[in-house]
C-alpha cells in the first residue's frame, strides 16, 4: 500500500459484514441478465511488481514466463516477468510502434497480439493490433523486433462529444480463438460489454459486432481456457471498485454469452485496479493489477477450478433431475403457449426466462398462472415477441430445464 492507509481501512470496515462471507458460500442475485449466483473469492498475493511495469494492462503465459505491457504513454515494450518474483527479466521493443494506449495481450501457437485499443476519451478513429512472431523472440536479452499490424474501426461508433471515462468505445480485452481475434468493450456509460470479431491477418478492417452482455462492471481483460472451452472476463465495478471475474462455458462456437456463466466477486481486494488475467494450467493462473493510490502494482495467484467444479456438479444434478414439464401451443392461438408442470409440489420458487438467439433474456411477454393440487399451468402470452426461435428456461427449487420455443410473433 502506497498511502491512504486510513482510507483503506475505512473501506474495509465498511465492508466487514460482506467480507465475512466464506468463499464456499453464495447467494442468489437477480438482475436484467437473469438469475445467477454470486460467489466471493480472494486471490493470493504472489509478488509486488517493479515500478517499471506499474501500469500493467495485459498478461499472457508463454515460454515458462509471464509477459505484460504498460498502457498509454509508456514505451512500446513487451516485458517478460519471472512468474515467482514478478521481476522483469527481458524487454522486447516493437520497432516503429507507438504506445497510444496498449491495453490488451493475447497469443496463439505462433504469435503474440498486442492490442493498442484503449480509448478513454472516445476520440480515436482507428485502432491497432500488433502481431509479433514468437520465433523471433530470443530466450534472453533485450531486443527490438518488427511486428505486422492490424488496423480497425468499429461499425457502430458514431462521431459524438463525450467526456473522459464516459464513452462506450473504450476497450482493454482481447482473446485469440482459432482463426479470429475477439475484443470486449469497456462501456463506461452502462457498464455493459460488446463483443467484436476480427481476422488475424494484417490489414485494415471494420470489426464485426457480435453480441452484447450486461457485465455489471467495467471489463478490463479477457482470456480463453481452451481445455474447458471457457471465456473469462475480468473487471471491476464503477464507483466502488470491486473486482470481479465472469466465467462463460458450455456455449457453441463463438456464442460466448449464450451458454452458462458464473460471476465471481472479489470484495476483499476492493479498490485494486485489476487489469489483466491469464492461466498457466487449467484454471490456475494470475491476475495483475495496476498501481494506484491505495495499492502497489501487484501479481496475484488464482485457482478457479474448485468454483468451476462445484458449479459443474450443480449442473449435473440438474441434468439428472429432469423436471416433468410439457409445453405446447394453445389451439387456434399462435402466440399463446401453455407450460404444464406435474409432480412439482412443494414449490418454493419458479423462475421463467425466455432467451433469444443471442443468449440474452427478452422482455415484452406476460404470464398467467393456474395451479391445483397436481399441476401448475402457466400461459405464456408472446404477442409482443418477434418471430424466431427462443429458449424457455424454467428453474424451480434449484433445478433448471431448457425448452425450445418457435414463436410466430410480430414481424
Residue 123 has phi, psi (to 5 degrees) of -110, -10
The 10s digit of each residue's pLDDT in 223-248 is 999 989 999 999 999 888 899 999 99
Residues 200, 203, 209, 212: what is their CA dihedral angle, to the nearest 10 degrees? 50
Closest CA to 232 of 224, 244, 241: 224
Q: Are the C-beta atoms of 190 and 238 separated by less than 8 Å?
A: no
Q: How far apart are the C-alpha atoms of 346 and 84, rounded to whole Å?
A: 53
Multiple choice CATH, 5-316, 1.25.10, 2.120.10, 3.30.70, 2.40.160: 2.120.10
Using DSSP bridges, classify how beta strands 127-133 and 260-265 pair: parallel, antiparallel or unpaired.
Answer: unpaired
Helix (H, G, I), strand (E, B), or coil: what is residue 134?
helix
Closest CA to 116 of 65, 170, 154, 156: 170
Q: How far apart are the C-alpha atoms of 275 and 269, rounded to whole Å?
A: 13
What's the DSSP call for residue 137? S
| pLDDT of res. 11 | 42
CA–chain centroid gap for 395, Å, is 24
Residues of the chain predicted below pLDDT 50: 1-37, 319, 345-348
Q: How far apart are the C-alpha atoms of 7 and 394, rounded to whole Å?
A: 45
Each domain of the chain, given as residue ranges in start order, spans: 5-316, 323-407
Q: Are the C-beta atoms of 304 and 277 separated by less than 8 Å?
A: no
Cell 409445453 identifies what position?
327
Q: Are the C-beta atoms of 383 and 366 separated by less than 8 Å?
A: no
Edge to edge, the sheet with strand 44-48 lists 44-48, 298-303, 284-290, 273-281
Q: How far apart are the C-alpha atoms of 173 and 245, rounded to whole Å?
A: 13
Q: Are the C-beta atoms of 288 and 269 separated by less than 8 Å?
A: no
| pLDDT of res. 158 | 79
Q: How far apart are the C-alpha atoms of 122 and 120, rounded to whole Å?
A: 6
The 10s digit of each residue's pLDDT in 339-366 is 877 655 444 456 788 888 777 888 877 7
Q: How far apart are the C-alpha atoms of 38 and 403, rounded to whole Å?
A: 25
Enumerate the H helices of 90-157 as residue ranges: none
| Domain 323-407: CATH class, spelled out | mainly beta
Closest CA to 336 of 298, 399, 380: 380
Edge to edge, the sheet with strand 336-342 lists 325-329, 336-342, 375-381, 366-371
| pLDDT of res. 148 | 98
Q: Are the C-beta atoms of 338 and 378 separated by less than 8 Å?
A: yes
Hey, how many other C-beta atoms are within 10 angstroms of the C-beta on 227?
9
Amino acid at each position: 500500500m502506497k498511502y491512504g492507509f486510513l482510507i483503506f481501512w475505512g473501506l474495509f470496515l465498511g465492508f466487514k459484514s460482506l467480507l465475512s462471507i466464506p468463499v464456499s458460500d453464495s447467494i442468489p442475485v437477480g438482475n436484467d441478465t437473469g438469475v445467477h449466483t454470486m460467489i466471493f473469492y480472494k486471490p493470493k498475493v504472489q509478488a509486488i511488481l517493479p515500478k517499471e511495469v506499474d501500469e500493467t494492462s495485459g498478461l499472457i503465459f508463454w515460454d515458462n514466463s509471464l509477459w505484460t505491457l504498460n498502457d498509454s504513454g509508456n514505451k512500446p515494450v513487451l516485458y517478460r516477468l519471472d512468474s515467482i518474483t514478478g521481476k522483469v527479466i527481458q524487454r522486447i521493443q516493437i520497432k516503429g510502434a507507438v504506445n497510444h494506449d496498449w491495453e490488451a495481450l493475447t497469443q496463439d501457437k505462433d504469435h503474440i497480439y498486442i492490442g493498442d485499443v484503449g480509448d478513454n476519451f472516445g476520440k480515436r478513429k482507428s485502432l491497432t493490433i500488433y502481431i509479433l512472431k514468437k520465433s523471433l523472440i530470443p530466450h534472453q536479452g533485450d531486443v527490438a523486433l518488427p511486428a505486422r499490424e492490424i488496423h480497425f474501426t468499429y461499425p457502430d461508433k458514431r462521431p459524438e462529444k463525450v467526456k473522459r471515462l464516459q464513452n462506450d468505445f473504450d476497450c482493454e480485452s482481447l482473446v485469440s480463438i482459432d482463426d479470429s481475434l475477439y475484443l470486449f468493450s469497456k462501456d463506461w456509460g452502462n457498464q455493459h460489454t460488446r463483443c467484436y470479431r476480427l481476422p488475424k491477418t494484417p490489414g485494415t478492417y471494420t470489426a464485426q459486432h457480435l453480441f452484447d452482455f450486461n457485465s455489471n462492471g467495467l471489463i478490463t481483460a479477457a482470456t480463453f481456457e481452451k481445455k474447458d472451452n471457457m471465456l473469462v472476463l475480468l473487471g471491476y465495478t464503477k464507483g466502488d471498485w470491486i473486482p470481479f471475474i465472469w466465467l462463460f462455458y458450455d456455449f457453441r462456437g463463438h456464442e460466448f454469452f449464450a451458454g452458462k456463466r458464473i460471476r465471481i466477486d472479489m470484495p476483499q481486494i476492493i479498490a485494486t485496479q485489476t487489469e489483466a488475467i491469464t492461466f498457466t494450467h487449467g484454471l490456475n493462473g494470475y491476475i495483475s493489477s495496476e498501481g494506484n493510490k491505495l495499492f502497489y502494482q501487484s501479481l496475484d495467484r488464482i485457482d478457479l477450478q474448485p468454483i468451476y467444479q462445484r458449479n459443474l456438479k450443480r449442473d449435473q444434478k440438474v441434468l439428472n433431475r429432469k423436471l416433468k414439464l410439457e409445453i405446447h401451443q394453445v389451439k387456434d392461438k399462435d402466440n399463446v403457449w401453455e407450460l404444464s408442470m406435474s409432480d412439482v409440489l412443494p414449490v418454493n420458487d419458479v423462475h421463467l426466462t425466455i432467451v433469444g438467439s443471442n443468449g440474452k433474456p427478452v422482455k415484452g411477454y406476460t404470464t398467467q398462472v393456474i395451479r391445483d393440487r397436481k399441476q401448475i399451468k402457466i400461459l405464456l402470452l408472446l404477442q409482443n415477441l418477434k418471430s424466431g426461435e427462443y429458449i424457455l428456461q424454467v428453474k424451480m427449487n434449484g433445478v433448471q430445464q431448457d425448452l425450445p420455443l418457435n414463436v410466430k410473433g410480430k414481424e
